[in-house]
């Protein structure tokens, strides 16, 4: 073979080697791309599975959920479906599917105190009365309402012994209430309805009010539930209750901070599903639930049964009747200048 022929053959061989090398690297890149796509698809599928109750969790969900509720007790638990679910571990187990491994519980004496913690960021979510939740929103609190678990919160007005026996007797008297609470809304609405203006309203928590009433330092106090029935059984006169004034009945509210929703947008869905599972469970164990509630409230099962009905716990986040109550309460708070400013209720509610 001539030198020219050998050079031509070498160039052809080198070309084939180059083409084979290029094909090899193209194949490697194709396989790598396929593996990356598969991994991305798997990760996306894991997040979807978590939203549907699977085992994988969205990466940005904090592992600790800070939850607040009203009412200090030795169990450090709320009542209703939320309390039962936390007591039995049902809610914890459900939220683990989303990566939440711990729920830190904090009890508050009243709604306004809890709202401050929610606004400051110490809480992610909280259950409280509708009035303090709305008053906080009226100040610009960045919260959303995700559940109205009960719409039968009854306020009671209890008089001191040997004191007023009817509403008209309250003129010129002193009444204790928890300002900013649904008790306060009930009292303010009642006094307006009855055109009773010459009264002094002071802020006292329930335990302090009970002591002041027993000493005769106040003439009447607002309270609720088993505590009202207990006082009546002890001989204190029942001056009024919200069952006589349907527009003055309160409701419960579970609110979550908008900052937490940015981290876990599906939280309302996850929370309400866990709460519903807890409700379904407690309905199968009514006697055990009433005993649990009696321990939470520090009272007897008899008083709990007289003041609380399992049927009053809603199995859906919102009802038409409940929304109507919220609308009426907000309107009253704004008109009476108890709320700092008006706000759009529908934008606050997160369905």
Q: What is the pLDDT of residues 286-308, one digit of tens each?
A: 999 999 999 999 999 999 999 99
Please say whether the beta carbons of 275 and 84 come within 8 A. Answer: no
* Residue in 157, 225, 161, 221 with CA at minimum distance from that of residue 194: 157
Please enumerate in sequence order all residues whose Cβ is within 8 A of that of 329, keeping only pairs 6 or more positions apart, or say none: 130, 131, 134, 185, 250
Tokens of 5: 């022929």
Segments making up each domain of the chain, as ranges? 64-152+250-348, 155-248
The whole-number pLDDT of residue 26 equals: 39
* Mean of per-residue pLDDT scores for the chain: 87
Q: Work out the pLDDT band at 72, boundaries 50, 70, 90.
A: confident
The whole-number pLDDT of residue 60 equals: 86
Average pLDDT over residues 114-136: 96
**What distance in Å separates the CA atoms of residue 344 and residue 351, rounded to the nearest whole number?**
14
Q: What angle do CA 269, 271, 274 make, to 5 degrees?
A: 105
For 48-62, 67-81, 237-251, 281-295, which range has the lowest pLDDT when averaged over its residues?
A: 48-62
CATH classification (class only), 64-152+250-348: alpha beta
- 59 SS3 class: coil
Please say whether the beta carbons of 124 and 256 come within 8 A. Answer: yes
Please say whether the beta carbons of 265 and 40 come within 8 A. Answer: no
Classify residue 71 by its DSSP letter.
-
The whole-number pLDDT of residue 28 equals: 36
Residue 273 CA, chain-centre distance (Å), reads 13
Q: What is the 3-state secondary structure (H, E, C) of 257-299?
A: EHHHHHHCCCHHHHHHHHHHHHHHHHHCCHHHHHHHHHHHHCC
Give how far Cα 35 sits from Cα of 27, 40, 45, 70, Å. 12, 9, 15, 51
In tens, the pLDDT along 15-27 reads: 444 444 444 333 3
The whole-number pLDDT of residue 49 equals: 36
Could you say which of 3.40.190.10, 3.40.50.300, 3.50.50.60, 3.30.470.20 is the CATH number of the domain covering 155-248?
3.40.190.10
- Find where tokens 């106090």 sit: 221
The whole-number pLDDT of residue 255 equals: 98
In the beta sheet, which residues pair with residue 70? 108
**What distance in Å separates the CA atoms of residue 132 and residue 125, rounded to the nearest whole number?**
14
In the beta sheet, which residues pair with residue 252? 129
**What distance in Å separates the CA atoms of residue 224 and residue 71, rounded to the nearest whole number?**
12
Average pLDDT over residues 57-85: 92
In tens, the pLDDT along 176-224 reads: 999 999 999 999 999 999 999 999 999 999 999 999 999 999 999 999 9
Residue 124 has pLDDT above 60, yes or no: yes
- What percent of the chain has pLDDT above 90? 81
Residues 204, 210, 212, 218, CA torsion sign: positive
In tens, the pLDDT along 74-93 reads: 999 999 999 999 999 999 99
* Residue in 134, 115, 135 with CA at minimum distance from that of residue 125: 115
Residue 249 has pLDDT above 90, yes or no: yes
**What distance in Å separates the CA atoms of residue 34 and residue 56, rounded to the nearest whole number?**
23
Q: Work out the pLDDT band at 259, boundaries 50, 70, 90.
A: very high
Average pLDDT over residues 125-146: 97
């Amino acid at each position: 073979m001539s030198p020219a022929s050998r050079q031509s053959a070498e160039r052809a061989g080198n070309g084939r080697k180059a083409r084979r090398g290029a094909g090899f690297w193209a194949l490697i890149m194709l396989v790598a791309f396929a593996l990356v796509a598969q991994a991305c698809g798997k990760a996306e599928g894991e997040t979807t599975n978590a939203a549907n109750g699977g085992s994988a969790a969205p990466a940005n969900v904090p592992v600790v959920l800070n939850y607040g509720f009203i009412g200090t007790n030795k169990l450090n638990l709320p009542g209703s479906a939320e309390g039962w679910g936390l007591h039995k571990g049902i809610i914890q187990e459900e939220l683990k599917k989303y990566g939440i491994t711990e729920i830190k519980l904090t009890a508050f004496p009243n709604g306004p105190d809890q709202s401050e913690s929610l606004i400051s960021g110490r809480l992610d979510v909280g259950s409280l009365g509708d009035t303090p939740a709305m008053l906080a929103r009226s100040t610009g609190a960045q919260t959303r309402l995700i559940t109205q678990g009960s719409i039968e919160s009854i306020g009671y007005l209890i008089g001191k012994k040997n004191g007023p026996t009817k509403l008209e007797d309250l003129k010129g008297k002193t009444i204790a209430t928890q300002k900013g609470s649904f008790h306060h809304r009930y009292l303010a609405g009642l006094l307006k309805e009855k055109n009773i203006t010459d009264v002094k309203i002071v802020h006292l928590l329930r335990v302090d009010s009970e002591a002041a009433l027993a000493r005769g330092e106040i003439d009447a106090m607002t309270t609720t539930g088993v505590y009202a029935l207990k006082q009546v059984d002890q001989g204190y006169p029942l001056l009024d209750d919200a069952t006589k004034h349907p527009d003055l009945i309160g409701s419960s509210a579970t609110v979550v901070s908008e900052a937490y929703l940015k981290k876990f947008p599906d939280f309302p869905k996850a929370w309400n599903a866990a709460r519903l599972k807890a409700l379904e469970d407690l309905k199968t164990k009514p006697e055990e639930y009433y005993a649990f509630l009696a321990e939470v409230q520090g009272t007897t099962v008899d008083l709990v049964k007289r003041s609380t009905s399992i049927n009053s716990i809603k199995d859906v986040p919102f009802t038409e009747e409940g929304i109507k109550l919220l609308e009426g309460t907000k309107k009253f708070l704004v008109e009476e200048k108890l709320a700092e400013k008006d706000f759009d209720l529908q934008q606050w509610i997160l369905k």
